[in-house]
A = this chain, B = another copy of it.
Amino acid sequence: MQLGLIGLGKMGGNMRERIRRAGHTVIGYDRNPDVSDVASLAELVDKLEGPRVVWVMVPAGAATQSTVDELKDLLSEGDIVVDGGNSRWTDDEKHAEELRAKGIGFVDCGVSGGVWGLENGYALMVGGDDEHVARVKPVFDALKPEGDFGYVHAGKVGAGHFSKMVHNGIEYAMMQAYAEGWELLEAADSVTDVREVFRSWQQGTVIRSWLLDLAVNALDDDEHLEKLRGFAADSGEGRWTVEAAIDNAVPLPAITASLFARFASRQDDSPQMKMIAALRNQFGGHAVESAK
């Protein structure tokens, strides 16, 4: 089938390649002319035969919103827009409604796989009406991994991004789990080769996983991670997971602890710990450390 693909960055570029390898036609558009197949969104829409499927793979928020706005004007009744970016699930119903007014379908698709997706396939979590999802199915089949898993139609519009968001929340806590364990092993006296302990865990243990394999890769590059700073960004999904939990009154202690650890990692000095130091000094005359 034919697919229009908007956004050819690290993710989108590899996805174009994987879909093409499956025998489909992909016309890609990117603001960067070096990677783009067409000069404009209008040209992209023009080149696709109707009814069209256009996959949006641009940053969540303003970029996705303005792309949806433009597509609403350019596309025709019966066309379908797929948002494969990291949009907040609450944006999906809004986008679906805006497009529905013109008879354009909407499907949201959470994509996992990172830099490994081109070879291994991408895990896809999809939300939308059965009819729209069915139309995009050949593309989903091209992107997903070989085998029985890696694809789910999770529910109505929004369910795809919601599922992907929860996936990322779980990912935060799993990474935190390995990270805490690694720090404790490094801190202990008795264990002389922490990297080999991690390596050994890759078979036969309860905690074997792909993330563990990656941890071993990382330790093979840099045994004590001395080249890195303990600084971790967060990309939205972790925050939204906690917000969704608050909306639903679901306690998420481990995932939230993982998010907060990232916040703290980005502070040069902790304001709240200044207050702790100040209070200890006030009541106990405890020594404080001066700011440098």
Contacts and interface: CB of A to CB of B under 8 A. Distances in A.
| Chain B CB within 10 Å, residue with most, of A169, A252, A262 | A252
Given A145-B203, A204-B144, A231-B288, A283 B115 contact: yes
Contacts of A192: 154-156, 159
A184 B245 CA distance: 6
Contacts of A129: none
Given A209-B209, A252-B180, A270 B202 contact: no
A227 B177 contact: no
How many copies of the chain does the oligomer comprise? 4
A261 B253 contact: yes
Interface string A174-190: 11111111111111101
Contacts of A184: 166, 169, 241, 244-245, 248, 250, 252
A135 to B, nearest CB: 20
A62 interface: no
Nearest to A152: B200
B277 A231 contact: yes
Nearest to A163: B197
Contacts of A285: 10, 114-115
Interface residues of A, number: 141
A262 B273 contact: yes
Interface in A75-89: 89
Interface string A269-284: 1111111111111111
Nearest to A292: B229
Nearest to A287: B233
Interface in A226-251: 226-233, 239, 241-246, 248-251
Main secondary structure of the interface of A (DSSP, over half): helix
B290 A154 contact: no
Contacts of A201: 123, 149, 167
Contacts of A218: 275, 278-279, 281-282
Given A162-B188, A222-B278, A205 B265 contact: no
Given A149-B199, A202-B149, A230-B271, A279 B214 contact: yes
Interface of A: 10, 89, 112-117, 120-125, 127, 144-145, 147-159, 162-163, 166-188, 190-193, 196-197, 199-212, 214-215, 217-219, 222, 225-233, 239, 241-246, 248-267, 269-292
CB-based closest 10 A-B pairs: A209-B209, A230-B273, A123-B204, A152-B200, A173-B177, A230-B270, A253-B257, A251-B260, A179-B275, A150-B203
20 contacts: A114-B283, A144-B203, A148-B203, A151-B200, A155-B190, A156-B192, A167-B205, A171-B206, A174-B207, A177-B254, A180-B254, A214-B279, A218-B279, A218-B282, A225-B277, A232-B276, A232-B277, A232-B280, A243-B246, A265-B276
